[in-house]
Structure formats: structure tokens, C-alpha cells
Amino acid sequence: MQNYVHDIPTRLYFGKGVVAAHLTGALSAYGKRVLLAYGGGSIKRTGLYDEITALLREGGFSWCELTGIEPNPRIESVAEGVRLCKENAVDVILAVGGGSVIDCCKAVAAGVYWEGDLWQMVLTIPRGSRTLPLVDILTIAATGSEFDGGGVITNLATNEKLPAFFTYPAVSLCDPELTYSVPAYQTAAGSADIMSHIFEGYFSRTDDCDLSDGIAESILRSVMANCPIALKDPANYTARANLMTAATVACSGIPEYGKVRTGWPCHQMEHDLSAWYDITHGAGLAILTPRWMRHLLKKDPSMTGRFVKFATRVMGLTGTDDTALAYAAIDALEAYFASTGLPQTLGELGITDEHFAEMAAHVNAVKHLDRADLPLSDEEIVQIFRACL
Ligand code: NZQ
Ligand code: ZN
């Protein structure tokens, strides 16, 4: 088991009614001038916007709004948020939405103090840079952005989508009832993303982290049990609550305590697919993951034991032939993703092999896989992409 540090300064309130109970108190700690940021309008359709603005009014806050933050948030939205914060001398940012809104706001929080070009900030920002405080209200269970310091920003002009460490939220308000309105496709994609955050660390070469593995397996079983319930019965509190809890923990680093870094290969590959084709993050991951797993198993049969563990402890399979069991688990996972209504091939998303070589080169150029214990060559990445067509 490797050394690790646990350093998550976010105060997270979970459960029914946390917005009414804690929003104004959370914001007041930082000041009265707020940037209220949200996405394409779901918060207006659900009534959450009215609830929040009533609370802000009653609390004596003034606010300006950053609206229309895109899924796969763009650097232009970051720039607009920075402009609004500076012009209005904003004290605290309130992000209301999913990973895209929260990530964009993390970059805005840092951008306010960044001298120079904001895309350069994404590329080079050092950890610990000065930021505005950020409070968020989470509306979809997926990325875990409510409990980590990372943000992923897209630059369509350069076909890049890159993660950076900006800041942890100071406070995250997570009410599962706010996710009742998440459409089926986003529920399934978000659930696939949660599972991918686990897979990325679980299929490592570190085998002696019992707690991490147990948490990881438990999250996978929970998501596979609760996502189908949420798809059939969107207002099922227990299912939504379990998905939200799983999302928060899955990307927090906790399921990787003590493990050697893997570099999160599926995420690096998915970010390049999104940078070129603007696809839904979780949908891309659900397509890539089984193909990446088969590639890994074929390339390195010493990984078989890990897959057998996954087969027996997560997928509930049994058998005496380890290799057969390992492949059966991957097939079962693929069938599970299909059962949630997610696309099964990149072709279904309009993706061809035209840019695979450039994407593969970029995946390795950004160096996240450099120190990984599961590196992939450019050629291997192209093979995995092709297997997804
Ligand atoms: O924009 P609105 O109108 O709000 O609609 C959104 C959006 O269309 C909708 N939605 C969200 N909550 C809803 C809802 N619709 C109805 N009712 C609700 N309660 O869902 C759509 C997707 O939203 P988005 O924020 O894009 O989803 P998600 O949370 O999956 O975020 C994806 C982004 O996060 C990045 C991804 O790469 C992607 O850019 N990631 C961030 C990470 C992090 N910060 O740690 C890690 C992840 O691995 C990931 O890379
Ligand atoms: Zn993800």
C-alpha cells in the first residue's frame, strides 16, 4: 500500500432540504455579492431557480448571472464568468448544476486572479493558486466535482478538453430530490461516469488495498442496482440518494487510497473524443471501457486476477476458468451499459476514424499516462478507438 494524503476541505451537506437550510449561511461567510451560474435552463424548468433567487432576496444578497454554461464547458464561458466577477466585485460564486457548471465555476474562481490568457491558465495553473470561494448546488449525480478540486474545460478552437486543478468547493449542497428531473439518458451517462471513476483506479497493479477495493466494489454494485430503478422511477428517493452518494465518493480519491496512479486512461481517451465531437462524457466512457478492458486483459494476462475479483465480487459470476470468467465479466458489463439505453458504438455518435491518430497522440502528449502503471502507446489507443466503432 502506498502513502496517501486525504485533504478534502469541502463541507458537504447531503439530503432533503439542504438548500433551504444551508444556502444563505454558506454564502454569507464570504460576502453579499454573488455570481449565480447555471447551465442551459433546467433549473428554471424545475423551479430551483425561483427557490434560490427567493432565498438570495430574503438574505439580502445581490447577484449577477452567468447562464448557458454548456455540457463540456467552454473556455469562452469561463472568460464571461471572469468578466462578470470582476465587473461586479463578486465575493462568492454559486454554481447550480452538474459537473459542467461546477467545473466552469472552479475555473472562473481561479480566472479572476489569473494574469493573462485563460486557456494558458487551464494548461499551466499551479495547485494552490488564489481563487474566489465557490458554493455549489448539485443537480445530477455523475462527476463528483462537488467533492474534488478538478475542473475539465473545453477549447473547441484547439480541439482540446483538459482537466486542471482549480479549487475545491467551499460548500456543496447535495439534495437527491433535485435529481428527479434528470433525463434518462443523462441518468445513465452519469451512472456510467461514476462507475468509470471506480474502474480507473480498481484495475491497477496495486493489489493490497482491501478498504479501497471494498469501497470500489460496493459503489459499483450500488450504481448497477440503483441506476435501473432511477430510470424506471425517476422520483425514487432511495435510488437517487444512493447514486448521488456514490458519485461524490467515487471521484474523491477515497477508492484509490494506497494505490499507484493509473493515469485514468479511459478518461484521457474520452476527453479527446469530447474535444473533437462534443459527446456526453459518460456515454463515451461506457463505449470505451469494455474495449479498454479487453485490450488490457489481452495485453497483460497478469491482470486476470483483478478481473476475476471484479467478476465474482461485483458481477456475481462464478466459474473455474479464470480467463473465461474475466471476459464474461466484461461482456456482462457491456450488456449492463446497453440495458441502461446508452449507445454501444462511437459510430452511433457520428464518430469515424478520421482523427483517431491525432487524438491518440494528444492523449499521450498531455502526459497524464506518463507515470501511469497502465500506460498505452499511441498505436494501442488507436486500436481501442477502432474497436469502439
Ligand atoms: O444545462 P442544463 O440545462 O442544466 O442541463 C444539464 C445538461 O444538459 C442536464 N441536467 C443537469 N441536472 C439536471 C439536468 N436536467 C434536468 N434536471 C436536472 N436536475 O444534464 C446535462 C448534463 O449536465 P453536465 O453538467 O454536463 O453533466 P455532468 O455532471 O455529467 O458533467 C459532465 C462534465 O464534467 C466533466 C466532464 O468531462 C464533462 O465536461 N468531468 C468533471 C470531473 C470533475 N470535475 O472531477 C470529472 C469527470 O470525470 C468529468 O471529466
Ligand atoms: Zn468522469
pLDDT of residue 315: 98
CATH topology of domain 184-387: Dehydroquinate synthase-like, alpha domain (1.20.1090)
Q: Which residues surround ligand 2, an ion (CB under 5 A)?
A: 193
Q: Which helix (H) or strand (E) holds 358?
A: helix 356-365
Do 184-387 and 11-178 fall under one CATH topology? no
What pLDDT digit, counting tens, does each position of 211-251 carry? 999 999 999 999 999 999 999 999 999 999 999 999 999 99
Beta bridge partner(s), residue 155: 160
Q: Give residue limits of the domains in the chain.
A: 11-178, 184-387
CATH topology of domain 11-178: Rossmann fold (3.40.50)
Within 8 A by CB and 6+ apart from 344, the residues are 287, 334, 337, 338
pLDDT of residue 52: 98
C-alpha 49/C-alpha 137 separation (Å) is 11
Q: Which residues of the chain have pLDDT under 50?
A: none
pLDDT of residue 261: 87
What pLDDT digit, counting tens, does each position of 107-149 carry? 999 999 999 999 999 999 999 999 999 999 999 999 999 999 9
pLDDT of residue 119: 98
pLDDT of residue 173: 99
| pTM confidence score | 0.98
pLDDT of residue 375: 86
CB atoms within 10 A of CB 286: 28
pLDDT of residue 227: 99
Task: Name the average pLDDT for the chain.
Answer: 97
- Residue from 281, 285, 342, 368 whose mutation best tests the ligand 1 pocket (most atoms within 8 A of CB): 281
Determine the distance separating the centroid of ligand 1 and the alpha carbon of 81, expressed in angstroms.
Answer: 18
pLDDT of residue 370: 72
Buried b (16+ CB within 10 A) or exposed e, 331-362: ebbbebbeebebbeebeebebeeebbeebbeb
Three-class DSSP category at 213:
helix
pLDDT of residue 247: 98
pLDDT of residue 372: 75
281 Cβ inside 6 Å of ligand 1:
yes
Nearest Cα neighbor of 109 from 91, 88, 134, 127 is 134
234 Cβ inside 6 Å of ligand 1:
no
Within 8 A by CB and 6+ apart from 102, the residues are 95, 134, 136, 138, 143, 145, 146, 151, 169
